[in-house]
Amino acid sequence: KMEAVGKLTGGIAHDFNNLLQVVLGYVDLLDGRIDANDRPARRAIEAIGAAANRGATLTQQLLAFARKQELRDRLLNLNTLVSDFSPIIQRNLGGEVTLKRTLADDLWNSRIDPVQAEMALLNLVSNAHDAMDGAGHVTIATENVVTDSDGALAPGLEAGEYVSLSVTDSGRGIEEENLDKIFDPFFSTKGVGKGTGLGLSMVYGFMRQSGGGVAAENLAEGGARFTLYFPRARGMVDAKPGPVLRNVGGGETILMVEDQPQVAELGRAMLEDLGYTVEHVDNAARALEVLRGGGQFALVFTDIVMPGMTGVALAQTIRREFPNLPVLLTTGYSDRALDEDSRAFELVRKPYRRADLSSRIKTLLDGPNGIA
């Protein structure tokens, strides 16, 4: 069932992500043009921006549930992530909740997308907060775990070595009859306007996409515990992405490759607003034609998921044929194979904001080797 629902939501979320990209992009454009003294117009643009941002967050959760979130994982230690993130967790829990950390010494490393892992942790923590009505105890613990039987620790989790991260609360616990529903998208007991029922769906999808799993249990002494299991990762450091040489000479003309006309129009408007000149093509083959025909560009900005040749394949071809030409990828959607290959390039996630786009392009144009 989760598979079928995942497929459906993934498709819808992908389209929604593109729509929100358009809304948020134009909000940023208008924001710079509205008279600072025009209060009603300012309020309107802020309200549109806030609503679209909320929509974007929901879409990201849906994409995560459908395992279509773009993952940018790297080798890290969960203890570091928990320590770095603790101030935000504490703020989220409020002053009447005591936060305890029990972090294992010698915790193994894992390969994780830190941003998504923080989102998952935040979802568990805010659920704990709600279950305790804002007062009680929360414990965050990490541990090395080994299991030799499939599915023993969490549904779908194979035998193997894992790093666990658990959040335990002193709240009211999960009603027994709901235990097998809580990870379903839109399942919530919090009432209209309070819960969307996407928090745990995001956590579930993210954990499965990361090669791990999640388990929920009630404790005998009251309260609930959610445990995330990330596969142990060996090796010390990430392989460095191949160097992209800085483009010298040539004007600041950007070749934009985007198949969706509305997103392309927005991209052009944003880039032109940032002071660049834009040439747009709607597929990768056409982009190569233009480049091979001698077109001079400072950078290629390409969508990943397009009919025909993907943006990643395009980027790889460009790196071979035009090693000095930097490439910036963009996508709101993920596919395991494409993710692997896209790591060698800079990427900006959709929906991207004007500031994101501007700083990524600057990094690529000014950086010593184009990769931070």
Q: Is 196 in the site for Mg ion (CB under 5 A)?
A: no
Question: Which single residue brings its beta carbon nearest to ligand ATP?
Answer: 199
d(CA 166, CA 227): 4
Q: Is 201 in the site for Mg ion (CB under 5 A)?
A: no
d(CA 224, CA 182): 12
CB closer to Mg ion, 160 vs 195: 195
Task: Output the six-digit token pair for 220.
Answer: 């005998």
d(CA 31, CA 25): 10
Interacting span for Mg ion (CB under 5 A) from 150-158, 192-200, 341-349, 357-365: 192-200
* Choice from 25, 136, 199, 370 touching Mg ion (CB under 5 A): 199
* Choice from 127, 201, 227, 302 touching Mg ion (CB under 5 A): 127
Total residues interacting with Mg ion, rule: CB under 5 A:
2
CB closer to ligand ATP, 138 vs 264: 138
Of 145, 148, 9, residue with least CA distance to 69: 9
Give the footprint of ligand ATP on residues 217-256 (CB under 6 A): 224
Burial 98-134 (b: 16+ CB within 10 A, else e): eeeeebeeebbbbbbbbebbbbbbbbbbebbbbbbee
Q: Is 227 in the site for Mg ion (CB under 5 A)?
A: no
Site string for ligand ATP, 123-142 (x = CB under 6 A): x---xx--x-----------
The position carrying tokens 């992530």 is: 81
Question: Which single residue brings its beta carbon nearest to Mg ion?
Answer: 199
Q: How far is the CB of 26 from ligand ATP (least distance, A)?
A: 27
CB closer to ligand ATP, 129 vs 360: 129
Q: Is 169 in the site for ligand ATP (CB under 6 A)?
A: yes
The position carrying tokens 């040489």 is: 245
Total residues interacting with ligand ATP, rule: CB under 6 A:
22
* Choice from 99, 118, 187, 363 touching ligand ATP (CB under 6 A): 187
Q: Which residues contact 296 (CB under 8 A, 6 or more apart)?
A: 250, 251, 253
In the Cβ-directed half-sphere of 176, how many Cα atoms lie within 13 Å? Answer: 1
CA distances from 85 to 144, 175, 249 (A): 20, 30, 43
Where on the chain is the footprint of ligand ATP (CB under 6 A)? 123, 127-128, 131, 169, 171, 173-174, 178, 182, 187-190, 195-201, 224
